Amino acid sequence: MAGHSKWANIKHKKARSDEKRGKEFTKIAKEITIAVRTGNSGDPEANSKLKLAIQKAKAINMPNENIARAIKKGTGDAEGDAYEEIVYEGYAPGGVAVLLEIATDNRNRTASEVRHLFSKNNGNLGETGCVAWMFKRVGLITLSKEKISLDEDEIMLKSLEAGADDIKSEDDVYEIITAPELLMEVKDALEAEKIDTEMADLIMMPDTIVDVNDEATAVKVLKLIDLLEDHDDVQNVYSNANIPDEIMEQFS
């Protein structure tokens, strides 16, 4: 069993406490539209990226008509903006690496706004490649311990048999790490064993962690991450910060 992965918990706890449901719907709708266009298919069974996006939409109770409209925008059956996917990289206070996945219809506007958020909050937007080398793309599946009757050894065995690379134990969840291309396969295998999955997503996982134990610095890092996540064009924010639970709770 690998050690704790607090880096994943920042987004996890933020998502659970976030009441801005309308903004979540907008971002996932954008993700669905992009998945249809890049996968050249509006059929989730033929487009794994779209299937994953739809599952994420349903997990936050996004209405079916919103999902259908986003798919139609992707296929061209409804009017929609032409989104461009970009990755921005930079540093938060304390030398924390930050990687952003962007979907925008105006690259110049987004770059200016994101740069302003970094500079105003004691960080800096960097050049392409400045922190990307610290992260790798993986699949992440979370299981709620409260909803599972199996013990830790059984969960580990079934996860590894399904094709997972690793499993980590957090306070209230198990985090299962997979190769990107095996995410849905592992998820389906676990659910076939009657193991309910709480979340499944492709994420950028840091290879190295920066411990942020100073409360003032940690609050600055969390504030910047919060502001970046709140930006309309920012789909995902990843960092390599390891922040103590007590500070996380205070910020939440």
Give residue 244's pLDDT: 84
Percent of the chain with pLDDT over 90: 65
Backbone angles phi, psi at 145, to 5 degrees: -60, -30
Does 128 share its domain with 151? no
pLDDT(118) > 80: yes
Q: Is the same domain home to 142 and 158? A: yes
Which residue, among 80, 81, 179, 186, has the nearest Cα to 139 in the 3D structure? 179
Which residues, at least 6 apart from 130, have a Cβ–Cβ distance to it below 8 Å?
Answer: 89, 90, 91
In a domain, 105, yes or no: yes
Residues 143 and 110 in one domain: no
Q: How many domains does the chain have?
A: 3
The number of beta carbons lying within 10 Å of the beta carbon of residue 22 is: 8
Question: Stretch 47-57: mean pLDDT, rounded?
Answer: 91
Give a yes or no: residue 38 inside a domain. Answer: yes
Residue 20 has pLDDT above 80, yes or no: no
The reply to whether 197 and 212 lie within a common domain is: no
Q: Is the pTM higher than 0.95? A: no
Identify the pLDDT of residue 11.
54
Domain that holds residue 70: 20-75
Residue that is last in its domain, among 75, 97, 113: 75
pLDDT at res. 150: 86
What's the pLDDT band for 137 if we cut at 50, 70, 90?
very high
Per-position b or e across 206-240, b if 16+ CB within 10 A of its CB? beebbebeeeebbbbbbebbbbbbebebbbbbbbb
Tell me, yes or no, whether 60 and 179 share the same domain: no
